[in-house]
Amino acid sequence: MSKIIDIRSDTVTQPTPEMRRVMAEAPVGDDVYGDDPTVNRLEALAAEKAGKEAAMFVPSGTMGNQLAIMTHTKRGDDVICGRNSHIFVHEVGAASILSGVILNPVDSKDDVIYPGLLEKAIREDDIHCPPTTLLCIENALATGMVVPLDVMEKVYNTAKAHSLNVHMDGARLFNAAAALGIPAAEITKYTDTVMFCLSKGLCAPVGSILAGSREFITRARKNRKILGGGMRQCGILAAAGILALTEMPAHLAVDHENAAWLRQRLAKIPGVHVKEDGIQINMVFFTLDHPMEVIESLPEKFLERGVKINGISAGEMRFVTNHDVTREDLAYVADCLEEFLK
């Protein structure tokens, strides 16, 4: 095949032709001065979508999360997060390096921090303990699960009963909203701040949003400058972000449907065991009843057929559907896998 089919992640999506056009034509200014009209449009739109007073454009989701932690806390604070959360596992220990906080990871069988788990994790009001001031949650999860609204509400109320702020890593917030069939703001109302990506399934080439109260974002903007995140004529990037928020969320349901189709197709292949329970977004997880040498050879074999996949991790394989992959592409992937496993 001449086309490369990339199902390693939805981070590999390409900006759409319309995004490339509006990027080239975007009016720009110096955003550090607040003079970039396209950035200002994006931030106003993002705040509206998130149901918050204000929003700020940042280069990456990791920076957005770290700015939230930096702005919510003071050095020495205790921050509760999931044991498998992006903030704990995939951000290079940045919370401790940049903000001087202690990450307090919570174990949960499905990676959701339920009210009872939260209460157990909160540090005692004792001279020997750091004060717990912030809870960091996720929705959707990297496991493909979407946290139900009633759980979000109970967790938020529990946090507030203990005077904790709540930040949500909503990298795939709009996937969660699509899966639940509700506006994103219905999810984020159970948070004080939220970060969400404009890339991934929304296809913007660069950028994320941090949203919260006007006072919070004012302070976060200064912290963004400290971290080197102040950008100049970045309306070129923000223009794609506007399309990401206005045009692309409607396409996420297609990604979810394609993932559901692929799960059903792979389940028909002998020796392939597809995880079904709790997968609500654009991810497919499965295990294989095959020798490890066969499993480890799959990335190379797929690449020879024009398909990029990741290798096995923690005993399972993951395929991720995205805007650049069609149902026909996925049928080809399934046919290849079936052939390789014979």
The model's pLDDT over 173-208, given as tens digits with 9 standing for 90+, comes to: 999 999 999 999 999 999 999 999 999 999 999 999
Spatial neighbors of 257 by CB under 8 A, at least 6 apart, are: none
| Res 1 pLDDT > 80 | no
pLDDT on residue 29: 97
Lookup: tokens for 156: 């938020």
Closest to 298 in 3D by CA, of 266, 260, 258: 266
Closest to 80 in 3D by CA, of 131, 160, 136: 136
Which fold, 17-247? Aspartate Aminotransferase; domain 2 (3.40.640)
In this prediction, residues 84-108 reach a mean pLDDT of 98
Distances (CA, A) of 125 to 69, 78, 156, 163: 21, 12, 20, 12
Lookup: tokens for 209: 């949003």
| 307, 7 Cβ separation under 8 angstroms | yes
**Summary mean pLDDT of the chain:** 97
Name the pLDDT band for 2 (thresholds 50, 70, 90). Answer: confident
Distances (CA, A) of 64 to 40, 110, 147, 268: 17, 24, 21, 41
Q: Tell me the pLDDT tens digit for each residue of 118-135.
A: 999 999 999 999 999 999
Report the alpha-carbon distance of residue 316 to residue 184 in Å, rounded: 30
| 91, 117 Cβ separation under 8 angstroms | no
Q: Tell me the pLDDT tens digit for each residue of 34-82.
A: 999 999 999 999 999 999 999 999 999 999 999 999 999 999 999 999 9
Report the alpha-carbon distance of residue 100 to residue 292 in Å, rounded: 42
**Look-up: residue for tokens 């979508």?**
49
Lookup: tokens for 29: 């200014």
Q: Tell me the pLDDT tens digit for each residue of 131-153.
A: 999 999 999 999 999 999 999 99
CA dihedral 283, 289, 290, 292 (to 10 degrees): 70
| 211, 193 Cβ separation under 8 angstroms | yes
Which fold, 5-12+250-340? Aspartate Aminotransferase, domain 1 (3.90.1150)
| Res 294 pLDDT > 80 | yes
Lookup: tokens for 37: 């009209």
Report the alpha-carbon distance of residue 208 to residue 185 in Å, rounded: 16
pLDDT on residue 23: 98
How much of the chain, in percent, has pLDDT values that exceed 70?
100
Domain boundaries, the chain: 5-12+250-340, 17-247
- Model confidence, pTM: 0.96
| Res 316 pLDDT > 80 | yes
